[in-house]
């Protein structure tokens, strides 16, 4: 389905980003796997992706840093001969009640989750304009839609992602670039490790289970594929009904 397309996935060393990279590769896309600290894990994802017969390479890139994004994107454009799909997935949490949240906790989460996506979009902007084609997928969260106590920084970053998504969708629509957001609920990854056994939380989810990274990846494949060419500026929840 994505045969011959070149995809860049941030935060692809683990969790949802890893699942998206592998599902894209399985569907024929070449994948640039971006990571921050987990070099070995990212290299392993690249190896697993390459086993599907596609080109796959890992790149260290702290998305919070504009210069790092710039250097990495130009390296990828050289290595892959252009970018068709960008997935802004890298994200962190630093949860605390707003009263106890210090400025560093707030800034770090905004810098990675929101500015990181902006940096990557800005670095890929000309590439998409030139191609007159592209798919941008930003990973938001139900926290950005509903808010969540203890996540003032994270919810603000994920709500910001929704505004960013709609703005870029409008700016690039004339160039046949679609930009959409995925808003997951609770998905089983390192980020939600402490929630796994939380019965109270599971009770709040109408489908009574956490989601799997592979389920988010399947939705990302749909949004990256040409079948969804008429969808842009949309936010799709994948949350077992949590935010309905
Ligand atoms: N899991 C959920 O329930 C859930 C729900 C809603 C939304 N989300 C969103 O989905 C995305 C992926 O979450 P996840 O659960 O898969 O998280 P995860 O397992 O904790 O993985 C986070 C990924 O982001 C990367 N990362 C962190 N900081 C980075 C930075 N400054 N620059 C580049 N990469 C960075 C990590 O790279 P390293 O390993 O190299 O550090 C890692 O690959 C995040 O945006 C998260 O907010 C997750």
**What is the reported pLDDT for 198?**
87
Catalytic residue among 35, 59, 125, 154: 154
> Residue 96 forms beta bridges with which residues?
151
Mutate to test the pocket of ligand 1, among 10, 37, 90 (most ligand atoms within 8 A of CB): 90
Please give the distance, rounded to the nearest whole angstrom, from the Cα atom of residue 82 to the centre of ligand 1.
Answer: 25
Please give the distance, rounded to the nearest whole angstrom, from the Cα atom of residue 96 to the centre of ligand 1.
Answer: 18
For the chain of 244 residues, list the mean pLDDT of each consecutive stretch of 10. Answer: 97 98 98 98 98 98 98 98 98 98 98 99 98 98 98 98 99 98 97 87 95 98 98 98 97
**What is the reported pLDDT for 197?**
80
- 3-state DSSP of the chain: CCCCCEEEECCCCCHHHHHHHHHHHHCCCEEEEEECCCHHHHHHHHHHHHCCCCCEEEEECCCCCHHHHHHHHHHHHHHHCCCCEEEECCCCCCCECHHHCCHHHHHHHHHHHHHHHHHHHHHHHHHHHHHCCEEEEEECCHHHHHCCCCEHHHHHHHHHHHHHHHHHHHHHHHHCEEEEEEEECCECCHHHHHHCCCHHHHHHCCCCCCECHHHHHHHHHHHHCHHHCCCCCCEEEECCCCCC
Please give the distance, rounded to the nearest whole angstrom, from the Cα atom of residue 174 to the centre of ligand 1.
Answer: 31
Domain boundaries, the chain: 6-238
**What is the reported pLDDT for 145?**
98
Considering the entire predicted model, what is its pTM?
Answer: 0.98
**What is the reported pLDDT for 3?**
98
The yes or no reply on domain 6-238 and CATH 3.40.50.720 is: yes
125 part of the active site: no
């Amino acid at each position: 389905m994505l045969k011959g397309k070149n995809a860049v996935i941030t935060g692809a060393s683990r969790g949802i980003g890893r699942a998206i990279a592998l599902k894209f590769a399985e569907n024929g896309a070449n994948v640039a796997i971006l990571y921050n600290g987990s070099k070995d894990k990212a290299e392993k994802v690249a190896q697993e992706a390459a086993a599907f017969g596609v080109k796959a390479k890992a790149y260290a890139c702290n998305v919070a840093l504009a210069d790092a994004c710039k250097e990495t994107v130009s390296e990828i454009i050289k290595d892959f001969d252009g970018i068709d799909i960008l997935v802004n997935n890298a994200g962190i949490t630093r949860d605390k009640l707003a009263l106890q949240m210090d400025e560093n906790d707030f800034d770090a989460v905004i810098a990675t989750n929101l500015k990181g996506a902006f940096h990557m979009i800005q670095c890929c902007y000309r590439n998409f304009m030139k191609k007159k084609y592209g798919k941008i997928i930003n990973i938001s969260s139900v926290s950005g839609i509903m808010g969540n106590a203890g996540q003032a920084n994270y919810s603000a970053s994920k709500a910001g992602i929704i505004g960013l998504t709609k703005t870029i969708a409008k700016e690039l629509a004339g160039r046949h670039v679609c930009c959409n957001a995925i808003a997951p609920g609770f998905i089983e990854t390192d980020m939600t490790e402490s929630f796994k056994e939380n019965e109270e939380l599971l009770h709040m989810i109408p489908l009574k289970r956490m989601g799997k990274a592979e389920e988010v990846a399947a939705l990302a494949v749909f949004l990256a594929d040409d079948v969804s060419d008429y969808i842009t500026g949309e936010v799709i929840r994948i949350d077992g009904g949590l935010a309905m």
